[in-house]
Amino acid sequence: MGRKIRVGLIYGGKSGEHEVSLQTAKAVIGEFDFDKYEVVPFYITKQGEWKCGKALPGPVQSVRELQLVDGGGDGAPEAGLRLTPVFGNMIPPSVRSSRGGGQAGIRSKGGRRGATGTDADGGKVRIRSLGAEVVRSGGREAEDGGRDSGHAEPLDVVFPLLHGTYGEDGTVQGLLEMANIPYVGAGVLASAVGMDKVMMKKLFAQEGLPQCVYRWFTRSQWEKDSAYFIMEIEIALGYPCFVKPANLGSSVGITKAHNRDELLRAVDVAFQYDRKVIVEEFVDAREIEVSVLGNDDPRASVPGEIVSSNEFYDYRAKYVDGKSSMLIPAPIPEEKAEEIRGLALRAFRAIDGSGLSRVDFFLRKSDNAVFINEINTMPGFTPFSMYPLLWKESGMSYRELLDELIRLALERYNEKQKLRYGLEDGTQS
């Protein structure tokens, strides 16, 4: 058998969806074919510290194992060194050795371009930036030619299983782009647009996609003239309405407001999670979701329907009580299913999506009118998650789905390597 594909799995994160990410990572690890892949865990704490663990021998039994506690990780808690697990080679060998063994991280495989960083003593350190390698210092040289020996071990692709801010919003994607490392999922632009509900809705409007009426404001705007926005909401949207942080997912911080007092409290809650708040009209509707998979030629799964155990599909209904139900495929007419699948693909292309996304819709009960709600560029992969279940119903198993996502990541990466980043000799006029 040939060399295993080394996958760097990034999860956790400085986000209100930290726990969701851990559950997603546990589920994904449980479905990897360990005869084909070698999985290296990279855990980001709630404080933004990075830890790298040893390659996993197989599925994990609990999320505690993924937090790399009890000596399971090589973190770098020192101030100013939180990215050591990612860019370990920014630190000169003398500095690494003086700090003792066990520091681990990603470094580049060399190639197209590099950059220069500065260490703690002001010295210049070369940062190579093509591909990725896990670096371990202070280890014993192994018989396999370098594993756990301080030698570089190449990572073939990174799988960022991060939900919410500082992960799903383009930040980590930008980090990986700068290092020229292949990664699964949407790029910087699509990730950022998919996270920011205000920008998402503006882009959907430009695409001509049908959506509910909404209003939005920043914290400073609200503090200066809350009376104006209250008037706007009550006239344009009415009650009930939904109040949401503009940048978050998994229904964290979302409140259904039935009157002005509840609206004011809901806005205060939403501002705990983001500086920007969006308020949307209530539509008495069924919740329909479609999974999208691909790069430039994406395909859509069969639609599924969420029947929430609560008044709306909030965090508890999604991840805690286990009482919500999923109807797959959704019991809707075939022509309506095709309409929704087509809108999902339009939304995916509108944000320049790649890899995967889940697109959520409202199907109004009174007349079966369709409204796009949002697009999620890194949907959950927990046992309760719709994304893999929709593909299972569409004929693709969980394991096959992971294979395809990694293939798509490498396809997009290889395509980008064809781009030029400057004028070559002989091309200037």
Q: Given this model, what pLDDT does residue 20 score?
A: 87
CATH number of the structural domain spanning residue 350: 3.30.470.20
User: Domain for residue 202, yes or no?
Assistant: no
Of residues 245, 249, 308, the one with CA closest to residue 277: 245
**Residue 263: strand, helix, or coil:** helix
Q: Given this model, what pLDDT does residue 341 score?
A: 98
Range in 16-20, 50-54, 98-102, 334-338 with the lowest mean pLDDT? 98-102
- Identify which of 102-111, 128-137, 157-166, 407-416 has the greatest average pLDDT: 407-416
User: Domain for residue 193, yes or no?
Assistant: no
Point out the domain boundary residue: 266, 281, 296: 281
Query: Would you place residue 248 in the very low, low, confident or very high pLDDT band (cuts 50, 70, 90)?
Result: confident
Domains of the chain: total: 3
Distance CA 39, CA 19 (A): 20
Are 133 and 259 within one domain?
A: no
Are 119 and 36 within one domain?
A: yes
Are 265 and 297 within one domain?
A: no
% of the chain with per-residue pLDDT over 90: 62
Point out the domain boundary residue: 238, 258, 281: 281
User: Domain for residue 276, yes or no?
Assistant: yes
List beta partners, residue 294: 355
E runs forming strands in 87-166: 104-107, 114-118, 124-128, 132-136, 152-155, 157-160
Q: Given this model, what pLDDT does residue 140 score?
A: 38
User: Domain for residue 229, yes or no?
Assistant: yes
List pLDDT tens digits, range 386-416. 999 999 999 999 999 999 999 999 999 999 9
Is residue 164 within 8 Å of 252, Cβ to Cβ?
yes
Q: Which residue has the higher pLDDT, 82 or 423?
A: 423
Is residue 106 within 8 Å of 86, Cβ to Cβ?
yes
Are 271 and 305 within one domain?
A: no
* Phi, psi of 412, rounded to the nearest 5 degrees: -65, -40
User: Domain for residue 423, yes or no?
Assistant: no
Are 156 and 293 within one domain?
A: no
CATH number of the structural domain spanning residue 74: 3.40.50.20
Are 289 and 403 within one domain?
A: yes
Of residues 204, 181, 140, 189, the one with CA closest to residue 343: 204
Query: Would you place residue 322 in the very low, low, confident or very high pLDDT band (cuts 50, 70, 90)?
Result: low
pTM, rounded to two decimals: 0.80
Query: Would you place residue 383 in the very low, low, confident or very high pLDDT band (cuts 50, 70, 90)?
Result: low
Distance CA 59, CA 139 (A): 25
Q: Quick check: 261 pLDDT over 50?
A: yes
Q: Given this model, what pLDDT does residue 265 score?
A: 97
Point out the domain boundary residue: 183, 205, 236: 183
- Give the mean pLDDT of 201-208: 97
Q: Quick check: 245 pLDDT over 60?
A: yes
Q: Quick check: 83 pLDDT over 80?
A: no
User: Domain for residue 426, yes or no?
Assistant: no
For residue 59, what are the CA distances in angstroms to 12, 34, 55, 62, 405?
17, 9, 11, 9, 19
Two tokens at 424?
């070559």
User: Domain for residue 421, yes or no?
Assistant: no
Q: What angle do CA 399, 327, 361 make, to 5 degrees?
A: 95
Distance CA 80, CA 17 (A): 25
- Give the mean pLDDT of 335-342: 98
Are 321 and 262 within one domain?
A: no
Are 268 and 311 within one domain?
A: no
- Give the mean pLDDT of 350-356: 97
- Give the mean pLDDT of 29-51: 92
Range in 36-45, 223-232, 306-315, 405-414 with the lowest mean pLDDT? 306-315
Helix intervals (H) in 104-256: 171-178, 188-195, 197-207, 219-236
Are 328 and 388 within one domain?
A: yes
Q: Given this model, what pLDDT does residue 240 score?
A: 97
Range in 309-318, 363-372, 374-383 with the lowest mean pLDDT? 309-318
Are 307 and 236 within one domain?
A: no
Half-sphere exposure of 67 (CA within 13 A, CB side): 11
Are 362 and 295 within one domain?
A: yes
Half-sphere exposure of 48 (CA within 13 A, CB side): 10
- Give the mean pLDDT of 199-218: 97
CATH number of the structural domain spanning residue 240: 3.30.1490.20
Domain of residue 87 covers 5-183
Are 179 and 72 within one domain?
A: yes
Q: Given this model, what pLDDT does residue 385 score?
A: 87
Helix intervals (H) in 12-157: 18-31, 63-66, 93-98
Distance CA 165, CA 192 (A): 9
User: Domain for residue 246, yes or no?
Assistant: yes
